[in-house]
Structure 1
Amino acid sequence: MSSPDVVPVTLAEIARIAGVGRAAVSNWRRRHDSFPTRIGGTDVSPQFSLAEVEQWLRDNGKLKDVGRKELLWPRFEVLGSRNESGLAVAEAARRMRSPRARTSDPELSAQARDLVAQAARLGREEGPRETFEFLLQRWLETHVRQLSTTPPPLAALMIRIALTVRLGPKDGGLTFIDPACGTGHLAAAAVQEYDGTGLELLACERDKALAALASARLGFVAENRDIRTRIAVTDALREDPFAGTQADIAVCNPPFNERDWGYEELATDQRWTHGLPPRTEPELAWVQHLLAHLKPGGAAVVVLPPAVASRKAGRRIRGSLLRTGALRAVVSLPPGSAQPHSVSLQVWILRAAADSPTAAPPSQDALLVDATHFARPGTREPSPDWDALSSFVLTALATLDDPDKEPPEGAVRVPLLDLLDDEVDVTPGRYTASMSEPSPKELAARWGEFRSLLTDLADQTRQLSVLEVEAGTQPAMTTLGDLVKAGALTLRAGQQPPEAAAPTRGATVPLLTVADLLHDGRPGQVVSIDSTHAIAEEGDVVVAGVIRAFRAWVHQGPPMAVGPQLYVLRVDSEKLDAHFLAGCLRAPANGRQAGTHASSSSRVDIRRLQVLQLSLEKQEAYAETFRRLSAFETLLTMADGLGKGLAGDMNDRLAAGGLTT
């Protein structure tokens, strides 16, 4: 797969090709005089010739099977143009599925056509779908700042919502439409979530490269299924390719804040049954476009920026959507659910009136759901707890058409009379905040729980305060690394978790990550049990090897996998007490001493962590005290959280004039 042109690669790309970390590549470069010389870049980010790197890796036995795809991707990158590389990936997918087909796109250069042929051959050897998904993911990562995609978990949730909310027969086929499909995440989710037959996918995308990639993706996901697909390359608002077509579900993640959406030329369009969208409200044009394509009882689900729920310019259209019963629910998502990740986006759920003499009149309320509390802080940007978020939203929507069912806490039915005021603001947080206040009985129970916590805390304080802890002579110490060498314990490092949407197979265990520790300390996902994961069993010591989350504890409960920067220590019970070891390791000074540098994001070299050298008999006394100290810290944390919550609730009530004298 060599090319006459020089293809530059970075240290990170070489690491991917070899299936190792970047530090390993840096070590190779320092230790081996034969390592390829730099051809470009900077001292901090050097670039090397791909052909020379490939040859060096082969000569030194460092090229693994994973490298074949990784060797291919840099050649797509040097095509330069986002459109040409995207079209080349899509064309390669078509050739993988149809080996006898010829490259027909006239926009592809000779270099791109040669690359398409190489990718098609590799795909047929290593799996067409897997190779295409790899190339597509690399393409999306490379152009992430120019594209806005729908994360697979959000796409799956939107499809489930649409299938749940729509009325009418559930068999006999389903028509799906997405007028701004991008690379086809929502259409692919529809194929995955719909378990019936006779699925028709209609999609539109004005960007030719995105449309080609969507077509390639759907070609794979719809393979061997009773599915009809049509993707039109045009602007759906200006030139609707499916005018007059009605769908069972319409789902969309449209472009945001586009002023040039066709306001002048579409002023008299028949789709604007709820009013002409103002120039500054293109999102409401997409909402009405979706409604225009719904069958009676059909459902539409659309992702929108939060400002659409309250902007003054859209007040009249929002009022009409509510009065006619078209807008049935609004869900506020946590930050990090989709681009832009810093914004709490909303999902609007709409439904066309049912065409039946016995159909119910327009609803007199709307369901508003605040799911923002399902955010999970990450190392760089927040990401939702998708399993809990999806369960909560679907549980709330199950009450949509049943007035006898109460929505869960965080969701509320709001009468139209309360919504149709001067603002017509449908932001869920505005209405759910007042509904989440505890009742007087609940408040009294929480005060009782707080008093009980303080009693336990006082008891622990008495026990710990009488201990004689003095500064004596410097005790004998050893390091964790030396204990591993001596066979007193085994150490396993956690692994990178899989993609959120990756399916799990076979037996599963919870997966704990550093982000989970920073959030609430509970595992946020599950993974299949295999030899690559470090599994903590009851009695093992778990250590977080990063300064901002540094801690060590003895794991209790069922088995649990750990992610990067977390470590599992399994002690030899004849040499070490697990609680003694955890207590020594989690000393703050110990973590600071073993830290790589002073910043909060720095790594802790856990092999440098120090442990007292004591006999097993003497370890027991320390272990019991460490247990008490750990229980004391737990009680402090619980009391702090409960006390602050009580203070906040009391403050809200007092500020609202709730004091009785």
Structure 2
Amino acid sequence: MGHDATLNAGDIARLADVGRAAVSNWRRRYDDFPQPVGGTAASPLFSLPEIEEWLRRNGKSYEMSLGDRVWQRLRASGDDLRLGDLVGCAGAFLLYLSRDPGGWRRVTRGPELAKGLHQTATAATSDLPVPVDWDLIDTRLYRLIADLAAEQGPLAAFELLCERYVEAHSRQLAVTRPDVAELMARLARFELDPAGGVRTVLDPSCGVGALLLPFSGARVLGQEAGDTGALLTAVRLLLRDPDARVVAGDALRLDGFPGARADVVVCDPPFNERAWGYEELTGDPRWEYGLPPRGESELAWVQHCLAHARPGGLVAILMPAASASRRPGKRIRGNLLRAGALRAVITLSAGGPDLWLLRRPEAGERPPSLVLMVDADGGVPAAEAAWRAFAADPEAEPPGAAHAVRIIDLLDDEVDLSPARHRPHPGDEHADLGFGGVRDRFLASVASLPRALPAIGVLTGARDLPSASVGELVRAGLVTVHQGPARMATDAGDLPVLTAADLVSGGRPSGRTTPDPGHVVLEPGDVVATTTATDGAARTLAEGGAVLGPQLHLYRVDPERMDPDFLAGYLRYAGTAGTNRSHPGASRVDARRVRIPRVSLSEQRAYGRAFRELLALEDGLRETTALGETLVRLGFDGLAGGRLRPEA
């Protein structure tokens, strides 16, 4: 490579302490911005010396941290195809430093650093899954890495390098989302021991170790097909806990832990692999529930994981959404259900992947009669709440978009386990009223709709009113803004939580959490809005006492200068119209940019009343629609089942 070090746009943004958008803006606005020296059109690389010179020339301050200097030198030590090997070598060196700091000091006094590392570091890191080529890194870079370890500690230093590596190879590496990895760990701990005790954990397709990191304190076993991933995972685990073992190799063809049984098996396997070993593994004893079809490699991983779970042990595995319904896999899905091995299928986001929770049956136990289906519109917290409720009492209806389905009802010609197919019918909360009761409710709701229409006049031309952004209103003291936490456990405790789903539906706070000084307590008259452009909900609260949940913003107005319903109406419009997003295609609304007309307080109140009446009409339409759908379903069920008859 013709340059000492290169940077991508993210590296430049960190160097100059700006956002990535600012770097893109510089490239467009400044003709003298350095040209790429490598990479691709989608992810160009720039020369570090040229970028530093350009920043100095344009008066833009920057600071290269020691971690960034190490990363840039590491990246410049070879081409991107060997970047993983370079990071692995750096990680092995950091593991050596953590285990034998005295040995490192002795090596630095020797005449040949590389030779000394081969002798001492190899012995100190003999439990790594693959041999380390210590010649990949030069003496100067080893010393920089040692300085970084002294500054941040070996573990933090290596996590920084792993983070940069994953970012640089984001298109090639499939890394499990951190919140999903944490969810899988929490669900496993809760199922096996509410106190959180798990003795042994296995991940047979561990990638760079994302699913194993949350299980601190347990004996951790990992296997990864690629040498690089196995090495990175081993270093990440061993820097945290010596009771870890990682092997390299394809777990389906060459099981690295034959006969091992774990309390928990977690897995995010490769999807849609046809060359997984179908021919040579046809008679494998792991296929207890049926030979996986050639095109269903994921069902091979499911059975491999179950084979490594102890009786009563849990398997948490991510699966493509299609695995729940593809016809070739229906026999295995049916056998998993009949044996009571499959306990839940959870859709975490539209399009998948789905999370399958399985339990290896114990000898002689009676198979369960129900399986949990969760279409988790509320994301990770909703999935966790549904599983905890189902595990505590399978017969009770779980919260949210979850449903306990009878296994016998699934054993049809399709054995379709797609959660969306088994969602409760809209409005089923009224189904216990029977056809007559629901009909009366529906007619009353329809009759009330005309009265709910607000008095709104039609103008011949659009009004052009002066306006101010929400950010300007905040600076003027008319509005105070609070943001909900990024994450919050909403399934335990006594303190009510207003969730995004509650706000959209107009329901009462459904979450529960424990008190915390950081919680934002809601007050009557507060305006609460969702932060996502897809929901577009905003309401003025009539009651207080609950706390603000994730993905929500609170706007507390000065009632002597601003009407809350007026503000809520414009925030609602900004979300549903898709305007004021942080950038085109973004899923979040930038509330600071929402424009609010500057009109008198009396006119604000008139607009606010109209907005409030429109919102009430929307809630009434939603209720009427739900009642109508329930009425139609009960009508078909009753006529076809002989409980209703047509009247003359």
Please indicate, yes or no, whether the TM-score normalized by the shorter chain is above 0.5: yes
Q: Answer yes or no: is the 8 Å Cα contact 2:317–2:357 preserved in 1.
A: yes
Q: Answer yes or no: is the 8 Å Cα contact 2:321–2:418 preserved in 1.
A: yes
Deviation at 1:97, TM superposition (A): 4.6
1:343-379 CA-partner distances (Å, limit 9, x unpaired) = 352404131324xxxxx4441x44322211x23xxxx
**What residue in structure 1 maps to residue 406 of structure 2?**
414
Give matches, 1:123-522, under 5 Å.
123-166=149-192, 174-191=199-216, 199-222=218-241, 228-323=243-338, 325=339, 327-335=341-349, 342-343=351-352, 345-354=354-363, 360-363=364-367, 365-372=368-375, 374-375=376-377, 385-399=379-393, 410-416=402-408, 418-428=409-419, 430=421, 433=424, 437=428, 439-441=431-433, 458-459=450-451, 461=453, 465=455, 478-480=466-468, 484=472, 488-489=476-477
Residues 1:637 and 2:618 are matched in the alignment: yes
Tell me which amino acid in the other structure corresponds to 2:300.
Answer: A
Residues 1:609 and 2:595 are matched in the alignment: yes
Distance 1:458 1:320, change over 3 A: closer
Distance 1:541 1:17, change over 3 A: farther
Alignment partner of 1:624 out of 605, 620, 635: 605
SS of equivalent residue, structure 1 residue 637: helix
- d(CA) in 2 for partners of 1:594, 1:318: 45
Distance 1:162 1:410, change over 3 A: same
Q: Answer yes or no: is the 8 Å Cα contact 1:278–1:313 preserved in 2.
A: yes
Tell me which amino acid in the other structure corresponds to 2:210.
Answer: H
Distance 1:590 1:622, change over 3 A: farther
Deviation at 1:183, TM superposition (A): 1.5
1:522-564 CA-partner distances (Å, limit 9, x unpaired) = 9999999999x99997656678899877787667746759979
- d(CA) in 2 for partners of 1:48, 1:351: 52
1:494-538 CA-partner distances (Å, limit 9, x unpaired) = 88975x699xxxxx998999x99889899999999999x999976
- d(CA) in 1 for partners of 2:204, 2:13: 39
Distance 1:397 1:608, change over 3 A: closer
Deviation at 1:579, TM superposition (A): 3.7
Residues 1:53 and 2:38 are matched in the alignment: no
**What residue in structure 1 maps to residue 62 of structure 2?**
63
Distance 1:366 1:236, change over 3 A: farther
Aligned length: 602
- d(CA) in 2 for partners of 1:57, 1:523: 51
- d(CA) in 1 for partners of 2:466, 2:201: 65
Alignment gaps of 5+ in structure 2: 105-116, 123-130, 490-494
Distance 1:638 1:177, change over 3 A: same
- d(CA) in 2 for partners of 1:547, 1:163: 35
RMSD between superposed Cα atoms in Å = 5.3
Distance 1:212 1:509, change over 3 A: farther
Give matches, 1:590-605, under 5 Å.
none
Which stretch has the larger CA shift, 595-604 or 642-651? Answer: 595-604
- d(CA) in 2 for partners of 1:598, 1:306: 29
Residues 1:577 and 2:591 are matched in the alignment: no
**What residue in structure 2 maps to residue 378 of structure 1?**
none
Alignment gaps of 5+ in structure 1: 192-196, 337-341, 355-359, 376-383, 503-507
Tell me which amino acid in the other structure corresponds to 1:395.
Answer: A
- d(CA) in 2 for partners of 1:460, 1:420: 46
Deviation at 1:634, TM superposition (A): 1.3
**What residue in structure 1 maps to residue 112 of structure 2?**
none
Tell me which amino acid in the other structure corresponds to 2:348.
Answer: P
Distance 1:173 1:579, change over 3 A: closer
- d(CA) in 2 for partners of 1:534, 1:163: 30
Deviation at 1:391, TM superposition (A): 0.9
**What residue in structure 1 maps to residue 114 of structure 2?**
none
Q: Answer yes or no: is the 8 Å Cα contact 1:96–1:124 preserved in 2.
A: no
- d(CA) in 2 for partners of 1:649, 1:160: 36
1:545-589 CA-partner distances (Å, limit 9, x unpaired) = 99877787667746759979x795755x66x23448627956969
**What residue in structure 2 maps to residue 381 of structure 1?**
none
Deviation at 1:390, TM superposition (A): 0.6
**What residue in structure 1 maps to residue 87 of structure 2?**
89
Tell me which amino acid in the other structure corresponds to 2:61.
Answer: K
- d(CA) in 2 for partners of 1:473, 1:352: 68
Deviation at 1:159, TM superposition (A): 3.2
- d(CA) in 2 for partners of 1:407, 1:542: 27
Which stretch has the larger CA shift, 597-606 or 19-28? Answer: 597-606
- d(CA) in 2 for partners of 1:249, 1:261: 23
Distance 1:85 1:483, change over 3 A: closer
SS of equivalent residue, structure 1 residue 190: coil
Distance 1:43 1:495, change over 3 A: farther
Q: Answer yes or no: is the 8 Å Cα contact 1:11–1:46 preserved in 2.
A: yes
Deviation at 1:207, TM superposition (A): 1.0
SS of equivalent residue, structure 1 residue 186: coil
- d(CA) in 1 for partners of 2:463, 2:321: 60
Give matches, 1:86-125, under 5 Å.
86-99=84-97, 100=101, 102=117, 107=133, 110=136, 115=141, 117-125=143-151
State TM-score, norm by structure 2.
Answer: 0.73
- d(CA) in 2 for partners of 1:426, 1:142: 37
SS of equivalent residue, structure 1 residue 185: coil
Distance 1:7 1:434, change over 3 A: same
Q: Answer yes or no: is the 8 Å Cα contact 2:202–2:220 preserved in 1.
A: yes
1:369-399 CA-partner distances (Å, limit 9, x unpaired) = 2211x23xxxxxxxx5211211112211333
State TM-score, norm by structure 1.
Answer: 0.72
SS of equivalent residue, structure 2 residue 238: helix
- d(CA) in 2 for partners of 1:308, 1:654: 34
Tell me which amino acid in the other structure corresponds to 1:211.
Answer: A
Q: Answer yes or no: is the 8 Å Cα contact 2:310–2:360 preserved in 1.
A: no
